[in-house]
Structure 1
Amino acid sequence: MTEPTGNSSRAPAIAERVAVFVRETVAPYERDPRCGPHGPSEELVAELRDLARQAGLMTPHILDDGTHLTHRETAMVFRAAGLSPLGPVAVNGAAPDEGNMFLLGKVASEEQKARFLAPMLTGEARSAFFMTEPAEDGGAGSDPSMLQTTARRDGNHWVIEGRKAFITGADGATVGIVMAKTEEGATLFLANLPDPAIRIERVLDTIDSSMPGGHSIVTIDKLRVPADQILGEVGEGFRYAQVRLAPARLTHCMRWHGAASRAHEIACAYAVKRHAFGRMLIDHEGVGFMLAENRIALKQAELMIDWCANVLDSGAPGTTESSMTKVAVADLLFAVADRCVQVMGGTGVSGDTIVEQVFREIRAFRIYDGPTEVHKWSLAKKIKRETLAAQEQA
């Protein structure tokens, strides 16, 4: 996977193909009984990905020559994929696989890429990122420095022990990236899954239901990993995690922008079809104004996403910008989804459309990849440092 390079025409063309595929081929599966509370089943994932391959749209943000679309171009494609909650899964652009592929493309050795990345790029393998730990263990959550999982050397292997929580896609994954504490600092390890040393205690019941495998509590009991499966260098795990996390926050925003846009379309169609008190719902200001606010919010979110994408495309880490974007876009899109539910009344809280699912998914997004409050706290600390530094120079 090579560095992103821009092209003014390729991304819109890919995005249009993805949008048509998602609307016409993927969306009808939204009522499929294989869509369960812990995400689409493995059978359904395989079926959707076969359809994406047939359409030439498997992993569309990474081209046949290994070239990765720019972040700005990826935004166009992922907004199109997000038009259905199943869209990112179908085209292999969903979390956590997309972020894990990005990380492996940046950090993995050539041998590791052949073993772990290649089957992910083709959509044949799913992956999981084992970082977050249970609160009751005092483990790492929004504060990764609280990492409790340990790894110790044993000859030419490392032995990893600990517990992990909210591990998306662990159930059914064949590639694992495990963060553990070593004497040198946090380190990332690649693991072949399933492994009897990695035991799923339970798959959590959460309000979101779009990600295959759901979110699990996991026990890691003396997992042996050969030294050649260290990802990058020992002790550099936190730095590598940042390589993954800033772009991953942004791709979440891209996908959920597509979902919120679809919910808005459904709400608009309902508002011109449904009549009350002698006129269309949309002609009542209380409804029409909510839809107008949605249009404004969707554009604001789009502009924020594109701004952050441009920062990342410049080569900057984009840590602050991705935090700002994650906070703003998550709140904007949740407000959009909430208004869609309100416009549609009883239908909006039913499973008759995907609007209620989009509402649930985006509500969860305000916590996943860092709660809004943690990002604001981090930004406040940065503001404090900058303000104090400016005062000292004055």
Structure 2
Amino acid sequence: MQLLDLIESYNAADASTERLYAREGRRVRGGRTDPKYKQSLLEATRLYQAVLDGRTPVYRLQEAMSTSDFQYLFGDIIDRQMLARYQHTPVVWTSVAKRGRVRDFRSVNRYTLDGGEAVLTEVKQAEEYPAATVTDGKYSYSVKKFGRRLPFTWESFINDDLDALADMPNRLANAATFSEEKFFTDLFAGSNGPDSTFFSSGNANVVTSNPALSVAGLTTAYNVLAAQKDTDGNPIYVSGVVLMVPPALRITANNIINATEILAADGGGDGTGNNQLRVQNWLRNDVTVVVNPWLPIISSSANGNTSWYLFADPNVGRPAMEMGFLVGHETPELFQKAPNAVRVGGGTVDPMDGDFDTDSVDTKVRHVFGGTLMDPKSAVASNGTGS
């Protein structure tokens, strides 16, 4: 995707002028409120793209960097390019976790209510209505700050090596996405597979006998999830599920879900149990396959390639986990270090001239997020070992 397309797609996704430039009330980006700013940004973007494509010599960019306005425009280009890449990169966690918003760095509580939904009791004439018992649950977490600096040298820029400039937004966007995905996976997976505290016999959310992924194993997992009940003994309605697998099970999972028919034993009228029914694959309408490449990294034992998970749709009201982001800082933010040098005789210093001591041009990314496990009744798992 071309840089201009990226910026346009970012603008379309975040079209509000206030959000686009002020990020929900924060300081205006680059201090630019002039109505001609968008046109200037477009012209600067075209110049930058032309230099990257080799259609315009790099000295044109170097000349522009020395002007009073271009350094702000250039910073906005890099910032928007990173955010566009971040928004277009597919992520796994949104399929199974609720997205939350947190006001500050202090611990926040998430409360859940269970009960009060039992089948209504008959109330006879002049009798008092019975009271319901409601159980509340509390989950706490706090968001944390994550980040990294990405320096490149003044010599690289002088040598017409624009790889650093062209690649930096992509790398920073990937770093932010990877950080979210690793943090999310670490919530429910451990070194030996499914987290033993969350997925336990006490929570009744371990697939019986830890079967390998198969039609039979998936059917068992579905039955375990469907057997969950609330505190009133009512069934928990699950309209759709997500099957999360490591890359090693990608083909197996997709073969199961995309098969047109399933051979199912019907118990057999002949007493042998060998009769088979050919049925349409009902799994393809109820199950969504999600491949999580972080599973074998977090679960570093052999179980990392055999473990698989079934999560209820997080939009049904009982999410298995939540990922939270700081209000006003819900996407990664890019910063460039101001030059700490002055020219002899006075005058401003171009930020691309770099640091006084090393001539390095320093950029950093900051991302703030956190999360927690919540309802174990919305997830089941198997380590795939068959034991």
Structure that is richer in strand per residue = 2
Relative contact order: is structure 1 or structure 2 higher (C-alpha 8 Å, sep ≥ 6)? 2
TM over 0.5: no
Q: Name the TM-score, length of structure 2 as normaliser.
A: 0.23
Structure that is richer in helix per residue = 1
